Structure 1
């Protein structure tokens, strides 16, 4: 096996592990986001902590959808902080130079 083949195999395995982690994150964050919204929580620390955690996974569309949903909810509580979270997302993930499939 060539060095290139070894490198390719290693990178492919890493990419698969990242995708698995993204799937796990969505499974774990979904009930948290749903509970925050269903309970009409105004716990700013909990909401922001959840947004902070989700932000790391926003290159994965299901995680981005959770992030957007929580941002929409949070906007009525603190529009300034929500705008900050939207801007952080844009700086981190939303680039015109990136293809939609190549963001991660």
Structure 2
């Protein structure tokens, strides 16, 4: 695969992460600001965010929601930290 093709693919991932950031930032903000305790909603949001944690801004958003969720369900939050490590830590 030529380098230009790889560069184009990386650019597409970056654009996708930027779009996801626009969508999920208000969702995470609302969860935290309204002190939402709905674990299904929080976990679903973390699941979606996890797919974009290759991007530093999305990772920051993911960590922010994990910190909030820790006080609600530390065991589940620890699982989400492990999921991140399995996907992205080398």
User: Is 1:8 aligned to residue 3 of structure 2?
Assistant: yes
Q: Where does residue 65 of structure 2 map in the other structure?
A: 70
Residue 39 (structure 2) pairs with residue 44 (structure 1): yes
Q: TM-score, normalised by structure 1?
A: 0.82
Deviation at 1:15, TM superposition (A): 1.3
Q: What does 1:1-104 correspond to in 2, within 5 Å?
A: 7-95=2-90
Shift in Å at residue 76 of structure 1? 0.6
Give 1:13 shift.
Answer: 1.5
Q: What runs of 5+ residues in structure 2 fail to find an aligned partner?
A: none
4+ residue runs over 3 A deviation: none
Unaligned runs of 5+ in 1: 96-104
Q: CA RMSD in A?
A: 1.1
How many angstroms does 1:10 deviate by?
2.1
- Counting matched residue pairs gives 90
Structure 1 CA distance, aligned partners of 2:17 and 2:25?
Answer: 12
